[in-house]
């Protein structure tokens, strides 16, 4: 089972696409009679997960009954689902976090809403939604497309994952879309790890341990290091990829390739990807903090820092921006009008 034909393994004997048509047909169908019971034990494989890991290359992982139960309970815990919850379906079932949020909501007695006839903003308002999960680019798209006079829902919580949310985006969400935004950090290999606050500090979820280590794999606290994570919801490695497994799973720890600073055993601050560091004449610079600062202070909607060699072969920092046309025109007018 997968979200589309492109994600199907080449050697699969049968492929079932989990799209809206399948979902609708399943709801309209009649259950089998008699129902077949398939006992699921802690180590029973129940889901094959496709992910890009942290390198961009396709990897396959097996989720067992134990792994899925642990992760679903984590989502139920940090989302606070109950019988009054109304969860809006915005993604496909191939997204592991979306699948877990939806399952957790149903288990806690909540309602899951599918509304393909309205855009996200319209569905949020129409159905009095209390919970929704969106990827960062989806969140930006919804914010940019809000109609004039849109009434912000009173009890909406937005969950995001996949990338950190900058303060300017948080401020826009709080002003016009939702009173609460929960920025979740996690991976396909480990599941949810932490909830990141407005100060950029992540609080580790129950059942998860974190450490940062130096180049010799020795733990460090208070200074930047490579993050490693241990969780009850961790897979054991990648299927048919022993090389990648050895590189990223060691002694029960998973190494996602991120840099972080540990505040204490339950709190840490992500710095960025280890391979995103800019090396400028021997000085290593993380672009994320600079990008966030420029986003706050310049009339732009997006920004990217990179390093390119000049004519002498020395690395120089370059800044690529996407101007915010309205803010840019306003800023120019203020400069020109005495």
Specify if 150 maps to a domain.
no
Within 10 Å of residue 93's Cβ, how many Cβ atoms?
Answer: 18
Task: Identify the CATH number of the domain in which residue 292 sits.
Answer: 3.30.300.30
Q: Is 20 exposed, middle or buried (0-12, 13-18, 19+ CB in 10 A)?
A: exposed
pTM of the predicted model as reported, rounded to 2 decimal places: 0.73
Cα–Cα–Cα angle for 164, 168, 174, rounded to 5 degrees: 95
pLDDT of residue 234: 94
Specify if 312 maps to a domain.
yes
Specify if 303 maps to a domain.
yes
The Cα–Cα gap between 235 and 257 comes to 17
Specify if 333 maps to a domain.
yes
Range of the domain at 287: 278-338
Pairing of strands 157-160, 180-187: parallel
**CB contact at 8 A, 159 and 127:** no
- In this predicted structure, the answer to whether residue 304 has a pLDDT above a threshold of 80 is no
What band does 295 get if pLDDT is binned at 50, 70 and 90? confident
**CB contact at 8 A, 281 and 315:** yes
Six-digit token pair at 14? Answer: 């049968």
Six-digit token pair at 57? Answer: 């290359």
74-99: average pLDDT: 90
The Cα–Cα gap between 301 and 323 comes to 6
The end-to-end CA distance of the chain, in Å, is 64
Specify if 283 maps to a domain.
yes
Specify if 286 maps to a domain.
yes
Specify if 310 maps to a domain.
yes
- Domain tally, the chain: 1
Q: What pLDDT digit, counting tens, does each position of 48-57 carry? A: 888 765 556 7
Q: Is 292 left (phi over 0), alpha (psi -120 to 50) or beta?
A: alpha
Q: What pLDDT digit, counting tens, does each position of 258-289 carry? A: 889 998 889 999 887 666 656 565 555 667 66
Specify if 26 maps to a domain.
no
SS3 category, 44: coil
Six-digit token pair at 5? Answer: 């034909």
């Amino acid at each position: 089972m997968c979200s589309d034909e492109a994600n199907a393994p080449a050697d699969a004997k049968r492929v079932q696409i989990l799209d809206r048509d399948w979902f609708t047909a399943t709801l309209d169908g009649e259950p089998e009679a008699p129902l077949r019971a398939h006992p699921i034990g802690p180590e029973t494989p129940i889901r094959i997960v496709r992910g890009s890991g942290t390198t961009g290359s396709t990897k396959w992982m097996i989720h067992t009954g134990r792994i899925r139960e642990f992760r679903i309970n984590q989502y139920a815990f940090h989302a606070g689902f109950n019988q009054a919850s109304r969860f809006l379906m915005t993604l496909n079932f191939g997204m592991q976090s979306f699948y877990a949020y939806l399952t957790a909501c149903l288990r806690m007695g909540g309602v899951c809403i599918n509304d393909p006839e309205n855009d996200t903003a319209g569905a949020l308002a129409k159905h009095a939604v209390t919970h929704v999960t969106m990827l960062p680019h989806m969140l930006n798209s919804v914010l940019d497309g809000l109609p004039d006079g849109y009434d912000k829902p009173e009890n909406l919580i937005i969950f995001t994952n996949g990338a950190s949310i900058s303060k300017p985006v948080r401020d826009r969400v709080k002003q016009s879309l939702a009173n609460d935004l929960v920025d979740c950090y996690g991976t396909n290999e480990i599941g949810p790890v932490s909830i990141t606050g407005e100060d950029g500090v992540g609080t580790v979820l129950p059942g998860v341990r974190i450490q940062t280590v130096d180049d010799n794999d020795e733990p460090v606290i208070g200074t930047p290091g490579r993050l490693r994570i241990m969780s009850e919801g961790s897979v054991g490695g990648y299927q048919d990829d022993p090389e990648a497994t050895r590189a990223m799973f060691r002694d029960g720890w998973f190494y996602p390739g991120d840099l972080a600073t540990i505040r204490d055993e339950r709190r840490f601050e992500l710095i960025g990807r280890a391979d995103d560091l800019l090396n400028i004449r021997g000085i290593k610079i993380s672009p994320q903090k600079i990008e966030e600062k420029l986003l706050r202070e310049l009339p732009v909607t997006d920004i990217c820092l990179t390093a390119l060699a000049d004519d002498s072969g020395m690395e120089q920092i370059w800044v690529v921006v996407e101007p915010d046309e309205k803010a840019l025109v306003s800023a120019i007018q203020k400069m020109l009008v005495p």
